[in-house]
Amino acid sequence: MIAPLDQPAAISRRRYHAGAGSLLYILTTVFLAIGAINSQNNLLFFAFGIGAGAIIISGFISGPALMGIRIRRDAPTAAEVGRPFEIRYTVQNRARVFPAFALTIRESPDHHPRPDHELPIVACVEHVGPLQSVVAVARATPSTRGVVSLGAFTVSTAFPLGLTRKSVHMHQHRTLIIRPRIVSLRPDLLSRLRARGPRLAGARPIAGHGDEFIGLREYSPGDSPRTVAWRASARTGTLLVRQTAVPAPARLWIHLHPSLAEATPHEQEIGVTLAASVAALADQENYAVGLRGFGVAVLPRPGRRSIERVMDALAEARISHQTRRPAEPTPPSDAVILITRSRADGDPAAALVVPVNEAGAFLAPGASLPEPPPPAQSRFQLAFRDFLGLENPPSPHTRLAGGAP
């Protein structure tokens, strides 16, 4: 007996699907029955028996097998445009007799930032024996940023004859943040900022295990004896320890200029890509990166979690006139990188202006800007292909993977 899965997906409903092929087969079987009754031909009775038996077998074999299927989805919390990610499905068959064959697991996102370019996520499993468990992996490459709410997914099979497709709808909530694409920029892009010195004015030390002395404090249990200030403790009669700090990184702001609201959707995505790429480059050079513009405000803080907050904010940013907010003043000691539609919209006070229409000049050799996403099939086209029993062609941004034991 296999152990039950931890937190498996909840089963919402089960369905039988009849496509164009199924209806044609059933219609042919009905005509055989009518012909056999009218002519009393034994050969037609025999053909009708084979046809009716195939329908019964098709529904009987795979239907009970799906009843015992339990699945747990393990998905990442974040992905990046242009980079493949994996979703793993642990598929368990709790049936004692019936194996499951040719399973297809297909995601049905509850929310996608661009419904006309939904991210198709499909995994396949060849076989799950009774009381066995396998792992299926779906690999996909997103083409648009945003927040995808993964809720319902479907496991289905048309085994053994493909006449009818049986499906079980399951639900397990997970939120996937698709961050903007990061492209390689010129290594000397931030040279103007480095010219201001190793640290910008206004950067304060951060308390920690550093070399910079910032004061004394009372001893707390767990402090190392090496940090005890013995002379100061002797003068005051209280045990004191030295408080040190590490140099704080320079603060850098990335501003999304209001002129981006006038740009085309593709130019806006290039602007967001440039902002994410500049933030990644600044983080590599130990800057504390902040973000402002279109209702987004992320304060510059040191640490990996801070740059992740910037990327998450860019993933959810909506560039439009409705999201524009009055510009907040930036401390004069902080550097500002401005992402604008054109150089004419720049601010002389900014340390660096990155116009979208000149984006190619800021790229590293061999790097390229994202292309417009390919046109997606309409829902009518997808439904029509599903009715015909045809697999919807995966987009060029999607790859599939089969199950693994």
State residue 395's pLDDT score.
41
Q: Based on the domain organization, do 57 and 143 belong to the same domain?
A: yes
Residues 282 and 141 reside in one and the same domain: no
For the segment 291-297, the average pLDDT, to the nearest whole number, is 88
Closest CA to 350 of 294, 284, 278: 278
Q: At residue 405, does pLDDT exceed 90?
A: no
Q: Are residues 56 and 124 in the same domain?
A: yes
Which pLDDT tens digit goes with each residue over 145-190?
888 888 889 898 888 777 777 888 888 888 899 999 999 998 888 8
| Inter-residue contact 256 to 317 (CB < 8 Å) | yes
Give the angle 131-137-142 at the CA atoms, nearest 5°: 150
Average model confidence (pLDDT) across the chain: 79
Q: For residue 329, what are the domain limits?
A: 191-200+250-362
Question: For residue 279, what pLDDT band results from cuts at 50, 70 and 90?
Answer: very high
Collapsing DSSP to helix, strand or coil, 356 comes out as: helix
- Looking at the fold, whether 109 and 41 belong to one and the same domain comes out as yes
Task: Give residue 206's pLDDT.
Answer: 47
Domain count, the chain: 3
Contact 361/369 with Cβ under 8 angstroms? no
The answer, yes or no, to whether residue 303 has pLDDT greater than 80, is no
Same domain, 129 and 274: no
Query: E strand or H helix at 103, and its extent?
Result: strand 100-108
Could you tell me if residue 370 is inside a domain?
no
Q: Is 326 a residue whose pLDDT tops 70?
A: no
pTM: 0.72
Domain-located, residue 229: yes
Look up tokens 């000049």; give the residue.
361
Cα 198 from chain centroid? 36
**What is the model's pLDDT at position 378?**
62
Q: How confident is the model at residue 199 (pLDDT cuts 50, 70, 90)?
A: very low
Residue 84 lies in a domain: yes
In a domain, 318, yes or no: yes
Q: What is the pLDDT of residue 108?
A: 78
pLDDT for 385 equals: 61
Are 66 and 16 contacting, i.e. CB atoms less than 8 angstroms apart? Answer: no
**pLDDT of 246:** 55
Tell whether 289 and 319 lie within a shared domain.
Answer: yes
* In-domain check, residue 27: yes
Task: Between 269 and 120, name the one with better pLDDT.
Answer: 269
How large is the average pLDDT for residues 100-125?
Answer: 75
Same domain, 14 and 140: yes
Give the CA distances from residue 65 to residues 93, 124, 156, 184, 228, in Å, rounded to whole numbers and listed in that order.
8, 16, 11, 50, 69
The DSSP code for 237 is S
Same domain, residue pair 300 and 358: yes
Q: What is the pLDDT of residue 311?
A: 94
Q: Residue 13 belongs to what H/E stretch?
A: strand 10-17
For 171, residues 6+ apart whose C-beta sits below 8 A from its C-beta are 9, 10, 12, 151, 152, 153
Q: Would you say 284 and 194 are in contact if contact means Cβ atoms under 8 Å apart? A: no
- Are the beta carbons of 356 and 319 closer than 8 angstroms? no
Q: Would residue 3 count as lying in a domain?
A: no
Which tokens sit at 291? 């973000």
Tally: H helices and E strands in the chain: 7, 18
Read off the pLDDT of each residue in 88-108 and give the average, rounded to a whole number: 88
d(CA 208, CA 247): 9
* pLDDT score at 10: 80
Q: Tens of pLDDT along 226-263?
A: 778 888 888 888 888 877 655 667 888 999 988 898 88
Both 237 and 262 in a single domain?
no
Residue 5 belongs to some domain of the structure: no
Name which of 312, 305, 263 is nearest 291 in CA terms: 312
Same domain, 277 and 231: no
Is the residue at 113 inside a domain? yes
Distance CA 148, CA 305 (A): 21
User: Percentage of the chain with pLDDT > 90?
Assistant: 17
Residue 312 reports pLDDT greater than 70? yes
User: pLDDT tier at 403 (50, 70, 90 boundaries)?
Assistant: very low
Report the pLDDT value the prediction gives residue 29, as an integer from 0 to 100. Answer: 86
Residue 90 CA to chain centroid, in angstroms?
Answer: 19
Both 161 and 33 in one domain: the answer is yes
Give the Å distances, CA to CA, from 197 to 32, 191, 206, 249, 353.
88, 10, 19, 12, 20
What's the CATH code of the domain at 93? 2.60.40.10
Are 119 and 148 found together in one domain?
Answer: yes
Range from 24-33, 106-115, 222-231 carrying the lowest mean pLDDT? 106-115
